[in-house]
Amino acid sequence: MNIGIIPARLNSTRLSNKILKDINSLPMIVRVAKQVEQSTMLDEVIVAVDDAEVYNIVNSYGINTIMTSTNHKTGTDRIAEIAEKFNSNDIIINIQGDEPLISSQLIDDFILLFDDRNIKMATIASTHLSVNELNDKNVVKVCIDKNMYAETFSRDVLSDEMISKLGGLYKHLGIYGFEQSTLLKYTSLPQSDTERLLSLEQVRALENNIKIKVLITDYSAVSVDTKNDLKRVRQIIKKKEKQSEYDRHIGYYKQLYKGHYNSDLTENATLMIAKILDSVFSKEDAKTLLDYGSGRGIQYTDKKIHEKWGIQNVRCYDPAIEKYAIKPDKTENFDAIVCIDVMEHIPERSVDDILQDIFEYKSNLVFFSISTIPAHAKLPDGSNAHCTTKPAEWWLKKLKAFKREQPQIKILLKVETDLFVIENK
């Protein structure tokens, strides 16, 4: 069996009661557990707590929670208390309770190391080691040998000579895996002076000839140790949750138009769009163009139109169409961005996120063409497939807010037959 255990001590040094800190409506320890539960390789996930309040909170979310002693010196000692009930060849994964962004895929990859039954203990190290982290004693560094075993752990900056002698230098991530019998042996060993001096419990293993296999990853851990860490994680999770909601609606959108959405625009439709754009752009405006949302791009490939506008480069992006789902990098510059009925199938609550994404591109001009035709279909959640039944005034208010943030961008809004130029006031 593969068992994931998350030690959760209430009293933390740098950030008081951090495991219970709210992160977007969930206690941090609950978020960690829910991330870990997404692992496909773990047979069981347990949160090991030392406080009745924490026990009740975590347990209320339906998470397997076990009360442990308050006398443990380390998180590894805490998980060993629970591990005693498992079999000697079971794999125990020790996962930190202060990493709410932990990757379940990383856990799965880590567990696969133990397919080699010669491996009794393992950990993870990241290639993401910045210059600041290299000089930060709070960041643990690990040197590995050519066989991917840990040679030494350090809080100090190791010399080039030492790194060259030992192997590669990486940022150590606080995730450990043990064969159950090795874990119990490890925690029965006395702490050494070096371990106490460095506050690095893994030194105990190396000093007692327990080899530590290292999985190298490009995953960049975000641990919560300070208020700034907490703020950063909240922002990351908020952004991910917004993106998840947007992705769900894009999925509905694909289903709604399944079977005929990918058909090419007719010649008449091409000329109609070209006529609209021709009334807005000059040759000087649109040498490089980003078509955001319509995804077809056929209106820009017509040779006559292309020559008339003098367009040199056109990029098309539409997350709902696989062919055009590769998103241009935000560092690219575009003379103009064209958004024709982009909002037509996006729920109203997602409009601000889409606008924010559009205005993050570097551009001189953004053109929106909006249809106010009433909704003709419903999404699976019951909301309208069209949100653009809003009047021109509603759109003007939205776009003026973005104009205030980026006054250098010219914004044009076409609602049915009316054309508006968004001005600063």
CATH number at residue 276: 3.40.50
Mean pLDDT, the chain, whole residue set: 79
Identify whether 187 is part of a domain: yes
| Lowest-pLDDT range of 18-22, 156-160, 360-364 | 156-160
Identify whether 235 is part of a domain: no
In a shared domain, residues 103 and 9: yes
pTM of the model: 0.61
| Lowest-pLDDT range of 19-23, 215-219, 361-365 | 361-365
Identify whether 242 is part of a domain: no
CATH number at residue 118: 3.90.550.10
Identify whether 236 is part of a domain: no
In a shared domain, residues 301 and 161: no
Length of the chain equals 425
In a shared domain, residues 221 and 292: no
Domain end point (choices 168, 196, 225)? 225
In a shared domain, residues 151 and 218: yes
Domain end point (choices 225, 242, 273)? 225
pLDDT of residue 383: 55
- Count of C-beta atoms within a 10 Å radius of residue 355: 20
In a shared domain, residues 182 and 270: no
In a shared domain, residues 213 and 289: no
In a shared domain, residues 152 and 101: yes
pLDDT of residue 289: 77
Domain residues for the domain of 385 are 262-422
Tell me the pLDDT tens digit for each residue of 6-34.
999 888 777 888 899 999 889 999 999 99
In a shared domain, residues 198 and 334: no
3-state secondary structure of 199: coil
In a shared domain, residues 303 and 389: yes
Domain end point (choices 204, 225, 246)? 225
Identify whether 257 is part of a domain: no
Identify whether 220 is part of a domain: yes
| Lowest-pLDDT range of 30-44, 80-94, 294-308, 323-337 | 294-308
Identify whether 12 is part of a domain: yes
In a shared domain, residues 20 and 169: yes
In a shared domain, residues 66 and 132: yes
In a shared domain, residues 84 and 148: yes
Number of domains the chain contains: 2
Identify whether 255 is part of a domain: no
Question: What CA–CA distance (Å, rounded) separates 409 from 361?
Answer: 11
